[in-house]
């Protein structure tokens, strides 16, 4: 598929895809005319890259991580190093802190909404519990 179709299927800008390529995150085939040609595997890869960026990882860390992750075209091609695992554990702890901060902020907003409307806590819909909160 061409770059425009991949961008549409993943809701990513066409400008992001060559950036991913420059960062070593995405490697398209090339047509005889030099145009990028992405396989169906690229949709899952781009979605995964976006999720990792959204989690706060930078492109160099993502480039280290991607070969260690199962992709639609097969299993991981590399095993994560101890250093990478340690770095990812640190990132996970950072995300956990962010989640805690967001929950605290949501609770403050709930209190303000309750005070302003006089409604009980049940009037503010609670989001579904995450697997982590349930376990």
Domain boundary at 62, 78, 94, which?
A: 78
Do 52 and 26 belong to one domain?
yes
Do 6 and 71 belong to one domain?
yes
**Which of 65, 56, 57 is CA-nearest to residue 25?**
65
pLDDT at 55: 86
pLDDT digits (tens, 9 = 90+) for 6-60: 999 999 999 999 999 999 999 899 999 999 999 998 999 999 999 999 988 889 9
Q: What is the mean pLDDT of residues 68-80?
A: 69
Contacts of 52 (CB under 8 A, 6+ apart): 61, 62, 65
Between residues 100 and 73, the one the model is more confident about = 100
C-beta atoms surrounding 78 within 10 Å: 12
Q: Average pLDDT, whole number, for the chain? A: 85
Cβ–Cβ < 8 Å for 119, 110? no
- Can you spell out the DSSP letters for 26-48? ---EE-TTS-EE--THHHHHHHH
Structural domain containing residue 9:
1-78
Q: Which tokens is 69 given?
A: 């992750």
Domain count, the chain: 2
Place of tokens 């960026």: 53
Do 28 and 54 belong to one domain?
yes
pLDDT at 80: 76
Do 65 and 92 belong to one domain?
no
pLDDT at 6: 96
- Kindly provide the b/e burial profile for residues 99-134, where b requires at least 16 CB atoms within 10 angstroms of the residue's own CB: eeeeeeeeeeeeeeeeeeeeeeeeeeeeeeeeeeee
């Amino acid at each position: 598929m061409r770059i425009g179709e991949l961008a549409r299927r993943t809701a990513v800008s066409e400008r992001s895809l060559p950036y991913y390529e420059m960062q070593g995150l995405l490697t398209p085939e090339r047509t005889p005319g030099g145009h990028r040609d992405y396989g169906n595997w690229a949709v899952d890869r781009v979605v995964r890259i976006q999720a990792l960026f959204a989690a706060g990882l930078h492109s160099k860390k993502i480039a280290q991580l991607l070969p260690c992750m199962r992709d639609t075209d097969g299993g991981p091609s590399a095993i994560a190093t101890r250093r990478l695992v340690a770095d990812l554990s640190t990132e996970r702890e950072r995300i956990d802190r962010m989640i805690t901060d967001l929950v605290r902020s949501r609770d403050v907003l709930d209190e303000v909404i309750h005070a302003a409307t006089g409604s009980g806590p049940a009037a503010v819909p609670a989001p579904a519990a995450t697997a982590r909160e349930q376990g």
